[in-house]
Amino acid sequence: MKPLKNNSSHKTWKDKLHDIIYEADTPIGKAFDVILLILILLSIIFVMLESVKGLTPATYRYLYYAEWVITIFFSFEYIARIVSIKQPSKYIFSFYGIIDLLSTLPLYLTFFITGSSALLAVRALRLLRIFRILKISRYIGESNKLAKAIKDSGAKILVFLFAVLVLCIILGTVMYLVEGEESGFKSIPISVYWCIVTLTTVGYGDIAPATPLGQLIAAMIMIVGYGIIAVPTGIVSAEYASSGHQPKKVNINTQVCSNCNASDHRDEAKFCRKCGEDLRNE
Amino acid sequence: MKPLKNNSSHKTWKDKLHDIIYEADTPIGKAFDVILLILILLSIIFVMLESVKGLTPATYRYLYYAEWVITIFFSFEYIARIVSIKQPSKYIFSFYGIIDLLSTLPLYLTFFITGSSALLAVRALRLLRIFRILKISRYIGESNKLAKAIKDSGAKILVFLFAVLVLCIILGTVMYLVEGEESGFKSIPISVYWCIVTLTTVGYGDIAPATPLGQLIAAMIMIVGYGIIAVPTGIVSAEYASSGHQPKKVNINTQVCSNCNASDHRDEAKFCRKCGEDLRNE
Amino acid sequence: MKPLKNNSSHKTWKDKLHDIIYEADTPIGKAFDVILLILILLSIIFVMLESVKGLTPATYRYLYYAEWVITIFFSFEYIARIVSIKQPSKYIFSFYGIIDLLSTLPLYLTFFITGSSALLAVRALRLLRIFRILKISRYIGESNKLAKAIKDSGAKILVFLFAVLVLCIILGTVMYLVEGEESGFKSIPISVYWCIVTLTTVGYGDIAPATPLGQLIAAMIMIVGYGIIAVPTGIVSAEYASSGHQPKKVNINTQVCSNCNASDHRDEAKFCRKCGEDLRNE
Amino acid sequence: MKPLKNNSSHKTWKDKLHDIIYEADTPIGKAFDVILLILILLSIIFVMLESVKGLTPATYRYLYYAEWVITIFFSFEYIARIVSIKQPSKYIFSFYGIIDLLSTLPLYLTFFITGSSALLAVRALRLLRIFRILKISRYIGESNKLAKAIKDSGAKILVFLFAVLVLCIILGTVMYLVEGEESGFKSIPISVYWCIVTLTTVGYGDIAPATPLGQLIAAMIMIVGYGIIAVPTGIVSAEYASSGHQPKKVNINTQVCSNCNASDHRDEAKFCRKCGEDLRNE
């Protein structure tokens, strides 16, 4: 049962704007999301290209103009999001509200603070906005179940990762004593870094044991690491398997309350479950 | 119950050819598959050897002749496949039909377009033809169950991999700012590449953090990567475990409909389930 | 049901000290644990920084003084732990008693034995003390379940790791014969080390096969390693999943018997389950 | 119920020898196994040390003498194994019979064929003999269950590994075309080798993509590899979990039939289940 949205003759322009920007049940709302998705991806590609050396000056100029066009679009979108909601503070101080601001502001700030590439790199956070758009797409069910499994096994994996870290600090100290500075184990922090690189099976090879005893200990660390990599996997497997038996499925639509910005409403919901706002907009 | 194939006196030569090329229930059909399998493997080895520098000119000439012999055999096979089926378009535009054409054509094209090694490398796609042959072998049950488990968990793993990619872009940008160009983090795309190399625990070591802060962040990325590698594994484990309870097993033979090229018919099937063609060939 | 601790007017100063040092149910006990946790982490950071070259002499002096302050605090804590327990030997010869001594003593020994950096690195064992403090924190349930799953699958994983080691020795010998000394495979132990580095997917790259045959064997080792990494993971997954069905949960508090140092008492316990000591301290 | 072995007054010396060498229920049998285990491990360490360069000539001489002592002991053991069994051919042509011969013979052959280090390296196969000894140890239950899980999932993992290999050949060909020879992708076989190194997350770094397009494809290969590493793990997890429900446990002792060399007899067995030989030796 779709929410009764089609009798839009009674709606104000704010309500219409809210439907377009925040929701994806109407054709215009869907089109808006697709355009936004493309613009975010384009702007990320532009941010990445900007950092590449050796392009022609014309390309940098083009990237600069494109960046301004996208930023102005995002600015209008940010303002529209504030205007179309009844309690703007609910949006402004929400996770996505802050992300939206952080990914729009840096370019304007370059007028006042010059040469701050760190500031411009904040724009990479724009990428997080994709999750808001995808959330209201067909992956909604998958993401939720996945998020649940990760959340359930989170505490156990944290305990495990902490134990791995303690192990790395102790083994790193041992390797510092065994190998010494000639092999690249210059200090205990560097040795701990090496131990993490080894135990997680990344193995850059920028630092590698050179003495027979060091190689023996390294081999033992690897064999142990091979055994303990199984632990977090086992935890998630078990959690995911047990979280699979969900009692019943609820159809969630893309409506967002125009008063308090709460989302994930059920299809049959007529009032916002958080603030009581009428979702039918009659 | 084997299909009634032995009263082959009534069959036309096209039907016989169809049985030999497309099916593997008769001794000739099996022999044809084994020969094809050996030829594909040989031709792949020849394609690979061709690219090796430092062999004697005689070897290159031998490889060239062998390649022509195999290509001509594949050409005849391709024509035979078209001729022996009643609706040739069903085969020509099927996945394997296109693969067959792509892996046969390049050598002929070298007469018209010279020096195109890229064109010749397309022949590596021949390898995919092995799956058609193995499909009608004893691994059929295994592959199907495996394929089902991968398909079931595909969407969830895609969501997960996308989240990993977003994480890599953001962390790559951070590392670009922290490490700078001296350590090899020349641009954001390179940093993102490094981050993917690290998070997936590949760890080439061509780019490695050199500053203490960079090494600290890299260590954190690895520890996190060690934790999240568990997620796709957990998903497939759970899916595979639950997909194991198949209601009942159906005996599938290697018959392929000579009209519409549909495969995976049941042993007791008398008519093609897609086009109604008589499978008994009486 | 919390243990009756508030009528502390009847308690001796030893009992009070015991409550503060060994337990974490009272505000002072919790504060003591937090201070101890911070001091341990600080002292580990100091030990690590001491090994870093290139700091200013003033920094080394500051680290030296800080180290003495922390060591003296740990010494007092060690004495207090001995004094406040009725059977001191139960603490002194326990796992944590030995760790406490080992992490306090080295600095004092530098008065008698000079220049022994190996001795000072023993202080890294302090880190293990964190587990005692965290054990009496909210992670208690998680750690116990995790420890159980690891313990249950321990023997199986050991058998597996031993088989991997045997495989590495045999394959390492083969690679030593195939590659020889030019590629870095200088001796059989080095080749076995390389094989462990490869099979565990660490892959430093300090030693890498250079001959075609060596690369072929290496590729086969990797493909096999990719397949067998699944084994320990599968074991832990299955063990963890089956260990999840615990009959019932028991509330365990942070009380430690002041007579025999036994811990993990239930909330409703009135007497120590090991020595019969009255836990209520009335 | 232990087999009735203590009335050894009726036994011949061959039976006694058989009990000592093949079984581990008597104190002498256990002692023999422990001595054998130590000698095997020692001899492996000696074989490995022999290949190390830079030791003193005295050490090499000592290793040479020790090797002869151990080889002579193994020779006597081999003869004793043949003598004490009623059907020697059952032992000689068994897996362990061939391993025993291969690990004893090479040293004798150096009298006839000189300088054959490859021949001497065959001695590393001695290590496999450990499995025979451990089989009759307390790990017996664990190994059997583990072996079953690996065997059950073996066919599926083989299909999977074959698919990975096909993927590596196709992607390796693509990388050869994209990167070319400057980056180390000298031929298609080398590129396929690189692809296997990358997909299995080993990542030596001896060959690494240098062009942007190559790095993009490499990043995609890694992300995909990160996803598909889950497949074999999921298979083993599911198999291991389902193989855990064994109907009932049978007590197996270390007796080996003195006629046909069959092992793994049940505690209550009075006659060999394969040849009918009386196991009680009365």
From residue D130, give the alpha-carbon distance in Å to each of C162, C170, D39: 10, 13, 10
pLDDT of A195 higher than 90 = yes
When pLDDT is cut at 50, 70 and 90, the band that residue C260 belongs to is confident
Facing residue for C233 by CB, picked from B201, B203, B233: B233
Q: Nearest chain A Cα to C51, which residue? A: A187
pLDDT of D4 higher than 70 = no
> Do residues A29 and A19 touch, judged by C-beta distance below 8 A?
yes
* Neighbors of chain D by Cβ distance (3+ pairs < 8 Å): A, B, C
* Mutate: best of A191, A204, A231, partner C, most C CBs <10 A: A231
Q: Which residue has the tokens 């002292």?
A: C43
> Do residues D209 and D215 touch, judged by C-beta distance below 8 A?
yes
Count other C-beta atoms under 10 Å from residue A240's C-beta.
29
Count other C-beta atoms under 10 Å from residue D126's C-beta.
23
Facing residue for A227 by CB, picked from C47, C118, C161: C161
What DSSP element (H or E) covers D26? none
User: How many Å apart are CA A17 and CA A80, to the nearest integer?
Assistant: 8
Is A233 in Cβ contact with C237 (below 8 Å)? yes
Highest mean pLDDT among B198-202, D14-18, D128-132: B198-202
Q: How far is D27 from chain B (nearest CA, A)?
A: 45
Q: Is A146-241 a CATH 1.10.287.70 domain?
A: yes
When pLDDT is cut at 50, 70 and 90, the band that residue D264 belongs to is low
User: CA-based Rg of chain C, rounded to a whole angstrom?
Assistant: 26
- Residue D278's SS3 state is strand
pLDDT of A251 higher than 60 = no
D266 DSSP assignment: B
Q: Which residue has the tokens 């025993």?
A: D100
> Do residues A176 and C121 touch, judged by C-beta distance below 8 A?
yes
When pLDDT is cut at 50, 70 and 90, the band that residue D52 belongs to is confident
- Residue C170's SS3 state is helix
> Do residues C92 and C82 touch, judged by C-beta distance below 8 A?
yes
Inter-chain CB pairs, A–C, below 8 Å: 143
What per-residue string of b and e applies to D241-264 under the rule 16 or more CB within 10 Å gives b? bebeeeeeeeebbbbbbbbbbbbb
Q: What is the pLDDT of residues C110-125, one digit of tens each?
A: 777 766 666 777 788 8
Facing residue for B203 by CB, picked from C203, C233, C237: C203
CA quadruple D157, D159, D163, D168: dihedral, nearest 10 = 60
pTM for the full predicted model: 0.80
Based on DSSP, count helices (H) and strands (E) in chain C, helices before strands: 11, 0
Residues of C in contact with A238 (CB under 8 A): 237, 240-241, 244
Q: What is the CATH number of domain A7-135?
A: 1.20.120.350
User: How many Å apart are CA D281 and CA D256, to the nearest integer?
Assistant: 12
User: How many Å apart are CA B175 and CA B215, to the nearest integer?
Assistant: 10
From residue D183, give the alpha-carbon distance in Å to each of A53, D180, D186, D207: 20, 7, 8, 7
Residues of A in contact with C204 (CB under 8 A): 203-205, 208
User: How many Å apart are CA C136 and CA C131, to the nearest integer?
Assistant: 9
When pLDDT is cut at 50, 70 and 90, the band that residue A192 belongs to is very high
Numbered residues of chain A with Cβ closer than 8 Å to any chain D Cβ: 201-205, 233-234, 237
Tell which residue, B262, B242, B263, has the closest CA to residue B252: B263
User: How many Å apart are CA B195 and CA B215, to the nearest integer?
Assistant: 12
User: How many Å apart are CA A221 and CA A199, to the nearest integer?
Assistant: 6
> Do residues C225 and C199 touch, judged by C-beta distance below 8 A?
yes
Tell which residue, A253, A266, A256, has the closest CA to residue A85: A256
Q: What is the pLDDT of residues B90-109, one digit of tens each?
A: 888 888 888 888 888 888 88
What percent of chain D has a predicted confidence (pLDDT) above 70?
A: 74
Q: What is the pLDDT of residues A34-80, one digit of tens each?
A: 888 899 889 888 888 888 888 889 998 999 899 899 999 999 999 99
What's the pLDDT at C107?
A: 83
Facing residue for D237 by CB, picked from A203, A204, A237: A237
C203 in the Ramachandran plot: left (φ > 0), alpha (ψ -120 to 50) or beta?
A: left
- The more confidently predicted of residues B247 and D69 is D69
User: How many Å apart are CA B25 and CA B19, to the nearest integer?
Assistant: 8
Please enumerate in sequence order all residues whose Cβ is within 8 A of that of A189, keeping only pairs 6 or more positions apart, or say none. Answer: B212, B215, C48, C49, C51, C52
Tell which residue, D132, D126, D133, has the closest CA to residue D30: D133
Is D48 in Cβ contact with C188 (below 8 Å)? yes
AA identity, residue C258: S
When pLDDT is cut at 50, 70 and 90, the band that residue B72 belongs to is very high
Across chain D, mean pLDDT equals 78
- The more confidently predicted of residues D280 and A281 is D280
AA identity, residue C180: G
What's the pLDDT at D18?
A: 83
Based on DSSP, count helices (H) and strands (E) in chain B, helices before strands: 11, 0
Q: Which residue has the tokens 């997954």?
A: C237
Domain limits, CATH 1.20.120.350, in chain A? 7-135
Tell which residue, A73, A188, A174, has the closest CA to residue A126: A73
User: How many Å apart are CA C74 and CA C100, to the nearest integer?
Assistant: 8
Q: Nearest chain C Cα to D237, which residue? A: C234
When pLDDT is cut at 50, 70 and 90, the band that residue B122 belongs to is confident
What's the pLDDT at C2?
A: 44
Burial class (CB in 10 A: 0-12, 13-18, 19+), B145: middle
What's the pLDDT at D7?
A: 47
Q: Nearest chain A Cα to C232, which residue? A: A230
D122 DSSP assignment: G
Lowest mean pLDDT, pick from A88-97, B208-217, D135-144: D135-144
User: How many Å apart are CA A170 and CA D56, to the nearest integer?
Assistant: 35
AA identity, residue D180: G
User: How many Å apart are CA C268 and CA C251, to the nearest integer?
Assistant: 9
From residue D44, give the alpha-carbon distance in Å to each of C173, C266, D233: 11, 52, 32
Inter-chain CB pairs, A–D, below 8 Å: 11
Facing residue for C201 by CB, picked from B201, B204, B237: B201
From residue D192, give the alpha-carbon distance in Å to each of A65, B37, B119, B141, D160: 43, 20, 18, 29, 17
CA angle, B155 then B157 then B158, to 5°: 65
Residues of C in contact with D206 (CB under 8 A): 205, 208
* H helices present in chain A, as ranges: 13-22, 27-50, 57-83, 88-92, 95-109, 117-121, 129-135, 140-179, 188-199, 212-228, 230-243
* Mutate: best of A51, A55, A156, A226, partner B, most B CBs <10 A: A51
Report residue B271: phi and psi, to 5°.
-130, 150
What's the pLDDT at C263?
A: 67
Tell which residue, D86, D91, D89, has the closest CA to residue D12: D86
When pLDDT is cut at 50, 70 and 90, the band that residue D281 belongs to is low
* Longest CA–CA separation in chain A, Å: 82
User: How many Å apart are CA C13 and CA C27, to the nearest integer?
Assistant: 17
Lowest mean pLDDT, pick from B17-26, B146-155, C216-225, D64-73: B146-155
Q: Nearest chain C Cα to A229, which residue? A: C233
Facing residue for C44 by CB, picked from A169, A174, A177: A169
When pLDDT is cut at 50, 70 and 90, the band that residue D95 belongs to is confident
Q: How far is B146 from chain A (nearest CA, A)?
A: 17
Please enumerate in sequence order all residues whose Cβ is within 8 A of that of C219, keeping only pairs 6 or more positions apart, or say none. Answer: D192, D193, D196, D197
What's the pLDDT at A85?
A: 85
Report residue A192: phi and psi, to 5°.
-65, -45
From residue A145, give the alpha-carbon distance in Å to each of A135, A240, A244, A263, B160: 12, 8, 8, 17, 11
Residues of A in contact with B235 (CB under 8 A): 146, 149, 240
> Do residues C78 and C100 touch, judged by C-beta distance below 8 A?
yes
* Residue D173 C-beta-side C-alpha neighbours within 13 Å: 23
Domain limits, CATH 1.10.287.70, in chain D? 146-241
Q: Nearest chain D Cα to C234, which residue? A: D237
Across chain B, mean pLDDT equals 78
Residues of A in contact with D203 (CB under 8 A): 202-203
Contacts for A136-144 with beta carbons within 8 Å, 24 or more apart?
A136/A23, A136/A24, A136/A33, A136/A254, A137/A24, A137/A33, A139/B155, A139/B159, A140/A252, A141/A249, A142/B155, A142/B156, A142/B159, A143/B159
User: How many Å apart are CA D106 and CA D117, to the nearest integer?
Assistant: 10
Q: Which residue has the tokens 């396929």?
A: D192
Please enumerate in sequence order all residues whose Cβ is within 8 A of that of D55, keeping only pairs 6 or more positions apart, or say none. Answer: D49
Q: What is the pLDDT of residues A128-143, one digit of tens each?
A: 888 777 654 444 455 5
Q: What is the pLDDT of residues C53-88, one digit of tens each?
A: 888 899 989 998 998 999 999 999 999 989 888 888
* H helices present in chain D, as ranges: 13-22, 27-50, 57-83, 88-92, 95-109, 117-121, 129-135, 140-179, 188-199, 212-228, 230-243
